[in-house]
Amino acid sequence: MSSEEAKPAAGAAAAAPKAEAPKPEPADPTAIPEGYKVLQEGQAKILHKGNEVFYNEAQVTNRDLSVAALRLYCKKREAEIASGVLKRGKRGGGGGGDKGPRLLEGLAATGLRSIRYANEVPELGRIDANDMDAGAVEAMKRNVALNGGAAAAKIRVLCSDARLTMLQAPGAYDVVDLDPYGTPAPLLDSALQCVADGGLLCCTATDMANLCGNNSTNCWSNYGAYPVHRPYCHEMALRILLACIETHAARYRRRIVPLLSLSVDFYVRVFVRVYTSPNEVKDSPARLAYLWQSSGCDSFFLQPVGQKRIHNGSNKYLPGPGPAVPEMRCPETGSGYIMGGPIWAGPIHDFDFAGELLAEFEREGTAKYAAATKIKGYLLSVVSELPDAPLYYNLHDICKMVRITPPKSDVFRSALVNAGYRVSGSHACPLAVKTDAPPHVVWDVVRCWVKKNGVSAAAVKDPESYSAKLLAKEPTLEASFTVVASAVARQKTDKAPRFVQNPAYWGPKARHGRPDQTRPQPDDNGAGPSGGGKGQGGKKGKGRGGKGGKGGEDTAAEGQQQTEEAAGHKRPAEEGAAGGEAGVVVKQEDDDAEREAKRQKA
């Protein structure tokens, strides 16, 4: 063949299409990447690896409660729309349109909460799971693909600043869920603009050291309220958060209605509905109050920020009356006062909503909600709380003040009921005494109990001490300690626990991306928690991560104590241990006082 003939043949060969390489098969979204493990919670699964993306198993209580609350809210919302009480939002505008309520999770991390919402709340429409951390967004995408089904169909993963996402969508979400690491304060203003009229705002705050008064200046800068570190600080934390949400809402002619407010372990969680109502915003100052706290005892008084009066058929809005205290010095101890607040002074629960939630957990139990037993205990306490008696006394603390062994809770509560007042407990503390009795009546009951059981010498040793001044006053009423049914916390047939013990290492965790030193870490061989280091008490081999340390129950109790201390206030022991342990405490304090007196004399 000639060279001329060879050229066209070569060109034809060159023009011939090359065989295409086989396309790689698409990755299986259900495959588990190397180094990851699958965690299951409710009907959701996530891929987890170390502390790569923030995940805290202790928040299962929060997530279980949120799923149940959201299910109930969706049903109530549909009933309100059907009856004409609430207008359905337009598609693309306010609310989720005809496809169901639209939800935004502002700080979604692994996306576990949003996936649970998609799988367990079928009434929901679109779910926007947002996080500004690129690693968290990638983790969310993996987890949504892993779950598939309703999660893949409903969830839209966003990578943005939550504030920007909310500001760009005014009134577009029927539900906004904020569960930040620390304070939600920077997010509240934009959240209250993007939630639809009649919508639900779910908000968590984990900065309990601020809210409970350990870092009071931080609380003021974040929430615009000054905290007071006293036994009621966990309920006060809830009321500070609610007051902050209320004041943000008022700027946009909106008001809030709390459905449920809980202090749980190391955080507070509130569920509030948001309504646009310019007229009711005028009542906002009357729903807030300043707190006057005696610096010498546990007496406290509330002073409303504002008041509403009706004159000639018209409303007049005025500053609140004051001062709320009977005298400029504490009438019980002669001490001065410190002021806190403003705090939310209205009801913190909708008792119908709480009752329906309780019925849901009783019906479904742990088969559906892993934390059902614990949440049921909280709700049983909630439904029995007085709605119009903000804050509470701690039975052990007021008896410790006068160095007397405290009575049983039912006995002390009965004395207040026999005196003509109402009384209840609180979900925030097993030793809480919530009452509408004024402080002088509470102290009269304490004085009568001291008279009945004898005065401690240490309490009156120094006549200028606050304890001696409290006992120097004669009670103005004769307290009856006969137990009455209306004061009994629960019947003998009621065996449901109110305050369930937490497992060990049940508390806050380190931020994602940082070494997590709040939990025992696997050893070099991956064979469970490492030991041999110094434990909580500084003794080798005991406490956290120690070999041959405390048994399961002791470790769990230690974990609960650590949790409460991290939350800004140590939680008292269960009621059953009240009597004997308090006596030991008083005796120990007497011994300490004697040693201190000897030291000063020397």
% of the chain with per-residue pLDDT over 70:
77
Residue 325, pLDDT score: 93
Residue 596, pLDDT score: 53
Instruction: Count the alpha carbons within 13 Å of 322 in the hemisphere toward its beta carbon.
Output: 16
- Cβ-Cβ contacts under 8 Å for 263 (sequence gap 6 or more): 234, 235, 237, 238, 427, 428
Indicate left, alpha or beta for 95 from its phi (over 0: left) and psi (-120 to 50: alpha). Answer: left
Give the CA distances from residue 61 to residues 74, 248, 278, 290, in Å, rounded to whole numbers and listed in that order: 20, 27, 36, 32
Cα–Cα distance measured from residue 216 to residue 229, given in angstroms and rounded to the nearest whole number: 9
Considering only CA atoms, which of 187, 171, 195, 166 is closest in space to residue 274?
Answer: 195
Considering only CA atoms, which of 263, 255, 259 is closest in space to residue 286?
Answer: 255
CB 302 within 8 A of CB 290: yes
Q: What tens digit of pLDDT does each residue of 73-118 get?
A: 999 999 999 998 888 765 444 444 457 899 999 999 999 999 999 9
Q: What tens digit of pLDDT does each residue of 502-541 get?
A: 887 677 766 666 666 566 655 444 444 444 333 333 333 3
Reply yes or no on whether the pLDDT at 602 is more than 80. no
Please provide the average confidence, as pLDDT, over all residues in the chain: 83
Q: Which ranges in 185-232 belong to alpha helices (H)?
A: 185-194, 208-211, 216-223
Cα–Cα distance measured from residue 117 to residue 176, given in angstroms and rounded to the nearest whole number: 12
Considering only CA atoms, which of 147, 145, 97 is closest in space to residue 119?
Answer: 147
Residue 270, pLDDT score: 98
Mean pLDDT score, 383-407: 96
**Model confidence at 561, in pLDDT bands (50, 70, 90)?**
very low
**Model confidence at 19, in pLDDT bands (50, 70, 90)?**
low
For tokens 């100052």, what's the residue?
285
Cα–Cα distance measured from residue 325 to residue 290, given in angstroms and rounded to the nearest whole number: 11
C-alpha 218, offset from chain centre:
18
Residue 509, pLDDT score: 63
As a three-state string, the secondary structure of 479-506 is CCCCCCHHHCCCCCCCCCCCCCCCCCCC
At 445 the three-state DSSP class reads helix
Cα–Cα distance measured from residue 574 to residue 553, given in angstroms and rounded to the nearest whole number: 14
b/e per residue, 182-206, with b = 16+ CB within 10 A?
ebbbebbebbbbbbbbbbbbbbbbb
Reply yes or no on whether the pLDDT at 208 is more than 90. yes
Indicate left, alpha or beta for 149 from its phi (over 0: left) and psi (-120 to 50: alpha). Answer: left
Mean pLDDT score, 233-246: 98
Considering only CA atoms, which of 158, 157, 199, 198 is closest in space to residue 177?
Answer: 199
Cα–Cα distance measured from residue 252 to residue 246, given in angstroms and rounded to the nearest whole number: 10
Residue 494, pLDDT score: 81
Question: What domains can be seen in the chain, in order of their start residue?
Answer: 389-487 (3.30.56.70)
Give the CA distances from residue 65 to residues 12, 117, 556, in Å, rounded to whole numbers and listed in that order: 72, 11, 22
Reply yes or no on whether the pLDDT at 572 is more than 70. no
Residue 87, pLDDT score: 83
Cα–Cα distance measured from residue 328 to residue 323, given in angstroms and rounded to the nearest whole number: 9
Q: What tens digit of pLDDT does each residue of 470-508 get?
A: 999 999 999 999 999 999 988 767 888 889 888 876 777
Residue 562, pLDDT score: 45
The CB-based long-range contact list for 511-517 (8 Å cut-off, 24+ gap) reads 511/54, 511/181, 512/51, 512/52, 512/53, 512/54, 512/109, 512/133, 512/135, 512/136, 513/51, 513/52, 513/135, 514/51, 515/51, 516/50, 516/51
Residue 600, pLDDT score: 52
- DSSP-assigned beta bridge partners for residue 258: 272
449's enclosing H/E stretch is helix 439-453
The residue type of 371 is A
| Eight-class DSSP state of 421 | -
Q: Note if the bond before 33 is cis, omega within 30 degrees.
A: no
Between 175-179, 229-233, 280-284, 549-553, the lowest mean confidence (pLDDT) is in: 549-553
**Model confidence at 23, in pLDDT bands (50, 70, 90)?**
low
Residue 345, pLDDT score: 97
b/e per residue, 509-532, with b = 16+ CB within 10 A?
beebeeebebbbeeeeeeeeeebe
Residue 598, pLDDT score: 53
Instruction: For residue 200, report the phi and psi dihedrals to the nearest 5 degrees.
Output: -115, 130
CB 406 within 8 A of CB 430: no
CB 334 within 8 A of CB 359: no
Q: What tens digit of pLDDT does each residue of 340-380 get?
A: 999 999 999 999 999 999 999 999 999 999 999 999 999 99
CA angle 498, 499, 504 (to 5 degrees): 150
**Model confidence at 570, in pLDDT bands (50, 70, 90)?**
very low
- Cβ-Cβ contacts under 8 Å for 183 (sequence gap 6 or more): 205, 206, 207, 210, 222, 223
